Amino acid sequence: MNVRITGTGSSLPGKILTNAELETLIDTTDEWITTRTGIKERRIAADGEYTSTFAAEAARRALAMAGVEPEEIDLIILGTVTPDFPFPSTACIVQDLIGATNATAFDLSAACSGFIFGLSIAEKYIRSGAAKKILVIGSEILSRIVDWQDRNTCVLFGDGAGAVVLEASEGDHSLLSTHTFSNGTYWNLLYQPGSGSRNPATDSRTIDERRIYLTMEGNDVFKHAVRAMEEAAVKALDANGLTTSDISLLIPHQANQRIIDATAKRLGLDSGRLFTNLHRYGNTSSASIPIALDEANRQGVLKPDSKLMLVAFGGGFTYGSALINW
Ligand code: UT7
C-alpha cells in the first residue's frame, strides 16, 4: 500500500512583527537579524488565538483540497511543543473543532522535527493497513514561550500551522521513505526548562528565575543542525538508490538561511532547488515544513512525479527526512 499526500493547508496569524518593530523593543538591528538569519518578519498570534486555532484551520484547508470529509479521518497526529494545555492533547481539541469524530488523535513531541516524525508514524499506519486517511499537523505558538527580553532567541521564532492529508493509494505518487533520528546527548542545548515536572509552573521560582522560557545554545545547535540535516537527506537518497541530481526540490526546516544554505552546499544542491519562506515567518518549529509545503504546492512548484525532499532538525536533538514522489 502506498501513501499519497492528497491535500495541504496552512494557517498563520494576521499580525506581522517586523525586524524594524523589534528594533524598538530590544537591543537588535534589522541588519543583524537579516544577515545572521535571513528573517525579515514573523507572525504573532493575537489574544484568543491558540495552537489549536491555527491547527484546525490548516487541517480544514488540507481536507478541502483533498476532498475528504472530517468524519473520514482515522488518525490525527499533531506535532507541537506549544500545546494549548499540557493535557489533553491539542490533537483532541482539533478533532473536536473540525468534527473528525472517527479519528484517534494524539500530540507528538519532537520539537522542530515533529512534522517529519508525524509523517513517519502516519506512513507506517497506512502501510500496515491500520488507517486509510490521516491528518498530520504541525502547529506552534512559540511567541508564548520565548523570552521577549532575550535577543538571542526572541528574534528567531514565529507562530503558525501547516497540515497534510495522507491517504492509502495504489499509485506511484507516494511517500518513498521516511527516516527519523534522535540524539538525547544534547537535549539541554535547546529546551524549555520550565512548566514540566522539573521546574513546575506552580513553583514561583520558575517564573521569577525566567525558567519558563525557551533557551538555546545557538552556535552549537547551528553546527549540529547542518550535519544532521545532511545525514538525514543522504540516508533518504541511499535508501531509494537516488542522488542529489534526482531531487527537484528540497524543503528544509526553516530555522536559519545560513543553516539551509550550508546544508544545500554539502548536498550539492543549487539554490534553485531550495524552497524557503523563513524571511516571512521566522522559525515556526514543527509548522515550518508543512507551511512551506503548502505554499510550494499552491504556487504550483511541485510537478507530478518530481522528487521532493523534506528534511528537519530540532530540539532533543531530533532530525529526519521524508522523500516523496509527488
Ligand atoms: O529550530 C531548531 C534549530 N534551531 C536552530 O537551528 C538555530 C541555530 N542557531 C542559529 O541560527 C544561530 O546560531 C543564531 C542565529 C541563533 C545566532 O547566530 P550566530 O552567528 O551563531 O551568532 P552568535 O550566537 O555567535 O552571536 C554573535 C553575537 C553575540 O555578540 P558578541 O558576544 O559576539 O558580542 C551576540 O550577543 O551576536 C549577538 N547577538 C545579537 N546582536 C544583535 C545575538 N542576538 C542578537 C540580536 N541582535 N538579536
Model confidence band, residue 312 (pLDDT cutoffs 50, 70, 90): very high
CA angle in degrees (0–180, nearest 5) for 144-149-150: 90
- The values of phi and psi at residue 114, to 5°, are -55, -40
| 159 CA to centre of ligand 1 in angstroms | 20
Q: Which of 224, 162, 156 is nearest to 187 (CA)?
A: 224
Q: What's residue 76's pLDDT? A: 99
Separation between Cα atoms, residue 198 and residue 203, nearest integer Å: 10
What average pLDDT score do residues 295-317 get? Answer: 97
155 lines ligand 1 (CB under 6 A): yes
Is the CB–ligand 1 distance for residue 35 below 6 Å? Answer: no
| pLDDT, tens only, 55-64 | 999 999 999 9
Ligand 1 atom 2 nearest Cα: 314
| Grid-cell match 521532493, residue found | 308
How is residue 145 written as a grid cell? 514561550
Confirm or reject: Cβ of 276 under 6 Å from ligand 1.
no
pLDDT for res 3 = 98
27, 36, 116: residue to mutate for ligand 1 pocket, most atoms within 8 A of CB:
36
How high is the pLDDT of residue 277? Answer: 98
pLDDT number for residue 196: 96
In whole angstroms, give the CA distance from residue 76 to residue 121: 11
218 CA from centroid of ligand 1 (Å): 6
Based on DSSP, count helices (H) and strands (E) in the chain, helices before strands: 11, 13
Question: Distance, CA 254 to ligand 1 centroid (Å)?
Answer: 16
140 band by pLDDT with thresholds 50, 70 and 90? very high
Distance 107 CA to ligand 1 centre (A): 30
Please, which pLDDT band fits residue 318 given cuts at 50, 70 and 90? very high
Q: What percent of the chain has pLDDT over 70?
A: 100
pLDDT attached to residue 47: 98
Q: Domains in the chain, ordered, with CATH? A: 2-172 (3.40.47.10), 176-325 (3.40.47.10)
Q: Tell me: the pLDDT tens digits for 225-248?
A: 999 999 999 999 999 999 999 999
Q: Over range 102-125, report the average pLDDT.
A: 98
pLDDT category of residue 292 using cuts at 50, 70 and 90:
very high
Q: For the segment 20-73, what is each residue's pLDDT rounded down to a tens digit?
A: 999 999 999 999 999 999 999 999 999 999 999 999 999 999 999 999 999 999
Phi, then psi, of 163 in degrees rounded to 5: -150, 155
Q: In what order do the strands lie in the sheet with 174-182?
A: 174-182, 318-325, 307-314, 249-252
> Could you tell me which of 282, 176, 184 has the C-alpha nearest to residue 224?
184
What does the pLDDT read at residue 216?
98
Q: What is the pLDDT of residue 156?
A: 98
